[in-house]
Amino acid sequence: MKTILSTTTISYLIIFAVAMPLPSHAEVDWKRFEGESINAIFFTAAYIDAWFRPMAKRFKQETGVTIRMEVLQAGQMRKKQDIMLAGKDDTLDLIMLQMDNRGGKLTAAGHLEDLEPYLADASQTPASHDFPGDWLGGCLNTQKVITGQPINNIVWSAQAQLLHIRKDLFEKYNVKVPTTLEELEAAAEKLSIDENGDGKPDIYGFLSRGRDRLITASFATYLWNHGGSWFRREADGRRVSNINSKESIDAFEYYGRMIRTYSPPAALNNRPSANAALFAAGKVAMLSELNFWMALSEDPRKSRVKGKTTTILVPRGPAGSFPNLPTTSLAIPRYSKKKEIAYMYIMWLTQKQIMQLGQNAAVPMCRRSVWEDASYKPPTRGWGKSAQLAAEYGIAIAKPQAIAIGQMRDAAGEVMNVAVRDGSRAAIQAEADKQAEIMNDLMRRRNRV
């Protein structure tokens, strides 16, 4: 793994420690807003039922404050958040977001409250909270996404992109656990298994996202491991698309071939939850997906492979190993009339003992201490080691970071569609050149605003 990741982390913590005044010791009055309520919009995820809903009940018991939680599919959530934020709706008090997805856009628009004054206020921040001291470095690296951004979110969960594998199949068929992308493809070929002799795989060797813009989160590690990237800097300082570079084309070609050759046809349409279900059903030997989906394969009520899996980092490529670390944050809209109550909720929810409950329920947290606590038992030892390593040293590369991030993701998705369906290098290059120009045009138009 590149040492620049840990160096960046150390630099961030030093800058943060110097710039961030520490509150003097005091006790937060958790009952000061008893009888109040706040409105939150969150997106659908496994951790909503596993952690957020139970903690909302506990929060009300301990503080007297009610959380009115609206949970929507991610796309619907973003649309509703955008409408309410654009209208400066003062009834929206708390939002969930991924900073590498929407953080730049919402920060640039001025929609998010600056939390630095709250963090420095001993009456609002518990003396024992230990932010950022107890936060894993990779998580902190994802918190700020544009130049000059204040601390306007608290990152709490680390959804590292990992490789979940059927260790029983590797042992049964004497296949080497891959440490390189070349070995990964060789393993996928050997573990595409026709058990009944009908000429069709009963177990597919590999599965990852193959659907349009959704591919960026799963493809990013493969892109960086090949030496590619979403953007590059020209000699004159201009930021331009890099999806049509040789290294990026290598990555598109590799990933497209893996989906086309070793994945079930459903990969072209499935959402991550459906892919995780296929892995849990025993239909796939290797699943490249976010870490929290591992919980499904270890759930005895829903899985046929419990106890038969483990997790590793996505194998290194020609350029090295770059764990992709999408994270999830909580933020307060600048227009809320109940900012202090929303902040109290964030502080309460991100206390060590509360985050420990989430960690123990298979919700990967950004606090270092909850990974090391004696009460924590990871789904598998490999999952615990790989997920924590990624949360410490990973980087936020899941999406092309830009204000027009949705359109940028669409552009990458179009290239991947060609890589999966056609596969010829010439066709991939032609589509990448076309989409790179679209991305550059989006940035030029943004710079003229």
pLDDT exceeds cutoff 80 at 14:
no
**Domain spans of the chain, in order of start:** 3-160+326-393, 161-313
pLDDT exceeds cutoff 60 at 26:
no
If you average pLDDT over residues 4-23, what whole number do you get?
42
Q: Report whether 324 contacts 160 (CB < 8 A).
A: yes
If you average pLDDT over residues 53-78, what whole number do you get?
97
pLDDT exceeds cutoff 70 at 448:
no
pLDDT exceeds cutoff 70 at 309:
yes
Confidence of residue 27 (pLDDT cuts 50, 70, 90): confident
Write a three-state SS string for 346-360: HHHHCCHHHHHHHHH
Superfamily of domain 161-313: Periplasmic binding protein-like II (3.40.190.10)
pLDDT exceeds cutoff 50 at 88:
yes
Confidence of residue 447 (pLDDT cuts 50, 70, 90): low
- For the chain, what is the mean pLDDT? 92
| Residue 379 pLDDT | 84
363: Cβ–Cβ under 8 A, 6 or more apart, which residues? 46, 47, 50, 51, 157, 292
C-alpha to C-alpha distances, 330 to 40, 115, 206, 292, 410, nearest whole angstrom: 10, 11, 34, 18, 26
Per-residue pLDDT reduced to its tens digit, 327-356: 999 999 999 999 999 999 999 999 999 999
Q: If phi over 0 gives left and psi between -120 and 50 gives alpha, with beta otherwise, what is residue 282? A: left
If you average pLDDT over residues 366-388, what whole number do you get?
94
43: Cβ–Cβ under 8 A, 6 or more apart, which residues? 71, 72, 73, 74, 77, 78, 96
| Residue 35 pLDDT | 99
Q: What is the pTM of this model?
A: 0.86
Q: Do domains 3-160+326-393 and 161-313 have the same CATH topology?
A: yes
- Among candidates 52, 44, 110, which has minimal Cα distance to 78? 44
Per-residue pLDDT reduced to its tens digit, 222-260: 999 999 999 999 999 999 999 999 999 999 999 999 999
Superfamily of domain 3-160+326-393: Periplasmic binding protein-like II (3.40.190.10)
Please name the residue ranges forming H helices in 142-244: 167-172, 181-190, 215-225
| Residue 13 pLDDT | 41
Confidence of residue 441 (pLDDT cuts 50, 70, 90): very high
Top-confidence residue, 211 or 104: 104
